[in-house]
Chain A
Amino acid sequence: MSTIAGSMQSRPPSPVLQSIDQLLRDAPAVLERIREGRDLATLAKAMILTIAFGGGVFGAAMGTFRGGEQILYAGVKLPIALLLTMAICAPALTALNRAVGRAGCMRRDLALVLSALARSSLVLAAQAPLVLLAVRAEASYHAVVLLVVACCSIAGIVGLTLFLRGLHATQSSGLWTVAPALFLVFALVGTQMSWTLRPFLLRPRTPDIVFVRAVEGSFFESVARSVQSARGIYMRESAPLPSEWEGER
């Protein structure tokens, strides 16, 4: 399909789809576009839709472990978790850039983070069949959890690479202050956001499927409880009995 003058005679290719294609095939061009601030509104729209699609596909794949409404719930919640985390952390990137003396423009910083997340989402979408395969192969709950963690790690590394390239392309000074600081903020907010919107991967024995569970503390409190439990200090009278685990593979 003609991409330049073809638009003059026939229906032009969608700029949104072109941006997604550019992200996949020509990431340096996307970084240049961000650096020059060209048509970032279209890029942002394309990246948000990509995150919704990629996150939705992977979320739905996770939901197949329990089946039923969980497929839809997880498919909706994962992109929301990604985008809301981004919405909360985005001001921090511009603030950190300006504080260390780097050029900080909120739109360009947002566009860079969106592009990195979108690329991660596409990688997640590509890995969704692996999760589906594990579910079909009747892998255990914990095995699927580990698989999901591995998939997210790979996707995260791909996105982080693009993000660091983008930061470096703008200006290399202060990079190793801004990048780890933002990574820390993103990790803290992201884990808490995921905790708040849980469950994503639901055990088959769970009788009722809810969209989100009641907010019971935070991820960090849960980790602290686990550490205490590992030291033999328990918060509750007894652990669930083996008979209650019957439905679990």
Chain B
Amino acid sequence: MDGRTINSNWSGMAIALAGPFAMGAVLGFPSGPSRMISEGLLLPAVVFGVTALMAPALYIGMSLVGVSPPATEVVRAFGDGLRACGIVLAGLAPATAFLLATADGSWAVWVFGIAAVGAAALLGVRRLFNQLRDEDTSLLRSLPLYTVWALVSLGLGVHFFVQTLRV
């Protein structure tokens, strides 16, 4: 399988949803079944919600700077980024589940939750950047804009994610 051109079909979208759902359920399980379900629904909502909020800003910014590919390419790139994020969350779910099951106290949910979700978000953002960039794109123009955008998106994502843990 060529990882660089992930097939954007229904199974790809399914992993983009299933990964955050699995991780959310894992983060919720120390508190019981109802919390498992609510976290399982909230985390995908946060991921997709922040993406929907920030995607237009990136497209506009990149277009103004002159490094934006066509809109369809941007949508495909966001799809790839979400799938990468979902895959990482799904892959880290078993390890996180074990660590939470063997730890006492809510500190574990915060620490491991933020670490896993943060790692997945970073890799998703990295993947998005690689998909948007091509050989002709000037790194000097795209990287600073993208870095600022990524920091704001990650900041918003962490804020909303922490809110879900506090609920």
Query: Which residues of A are at the interface with B, using a C-beta cutoff of 8 A?
Result: 88-89, 91-105, 177, 181, 185, 188-189, 192-193, 195-196, 215, 217-218, 220-221
A181 touching B119 in the complex, CB below 8 Å, given contacts A89-B95, A103-B1: yes
Residue of B nearest to A92 (CB): B91
Name the distance in Å between A105's Cβ and chain B's nearest Cβ: 7
Q: Is the CB of B92 within 8 A of A101?
A: no
B104 within 8 A of partner (CB): yes
B88 touches A96 (CB 8 A): yes
- How far does the alpha carbon of A102 sit from the alpha carbon of B87 in the complex, in Å? 13
Query: Roughly how many angstroms separate A95 CA and B87 CA in the complex, as a whole number?
Result: 5
Question: What is the CA–CA distance of A91 and B6 in the complex, to the nearest angstrom?
Answer: 18
Write out the residue numbers on chain B whose beta carbons fall within 8 Å of the beta carbon of A95. Answer: 87-88, 90-92
A94 touches B91 (CB 8 A): yes
A24 to B101 Cα, complex, angstroms: 37
Residue of B nearest to A186 (CB): B95
**A101 & B4 in contact (Cβ 8 Å cutoff):** yes
Q: Are B1 and A92 in contact (CB under 8 A)?
A: no
- Complex contact A192–B84 (CB within 8 A): no
Shortest 10 CB-CB contacts between residues of A and residues of B? A95-B91, A99-B84, A101-B3, A218-B103, A92-B91, A99-B123, A91-B91, A95-B87, A99-B88, A101-B4
**B123 partner residues in chain A, CB cutoff 8 A:** 96, 99-100, 177
Return B127 CB to nearest CB of chain A, in Å: 6
* 21 CB-based A-B contacts, threshold 8 Å: A88-B94, A88-B98, A91-B91, A92-B94, A92-B95, A93-B91, A98-B87, A99-B84, A99-B124, A99-B127, A100-B123, A100-B127, A101-B4, A101-B127, A185-B92, A192-B98, A193-B98, A217-B104, A218-B102, A218-B104, A221-B105
Would you call A220 and B84 a contact (CB within 8 A)? no
Name the B residues within 8 Å of A91 (CB-CB).
90-91, 93-94
Contacting pair B103 A217 (CB below 8 A): yes
A177 proximity list for chain B (CB < 8 A): 123, 126
Closest chain A CB from B95 CB (angstroms):
5
CB-CB under 8 A for A189 and B3, given A92-B92, A99-B127? no
Closest to B93 in A: A91
Q: How far apart are B50's CB and chain A's nearest CB, in angstroms?
A: 18
Per-residue A-contact encoding for B27-53, CB less than 8 Å = 1, 0 else? 000000000000000000000000000
Rounded to whole angstroms, the CA-CA distance of A89 and B4 in the bound complex is 23
Q: Are B94 and A103 in contact (CB under 8 A)?
A: no
B84:A105 contact, CB within 8 angstroms: no
Q: Given A99-B124, A221-B104, are A185 and B95 neighbors across the interface (CB < 8 Å)?
A: yes
A58 to B139, CA, bound (A): 52
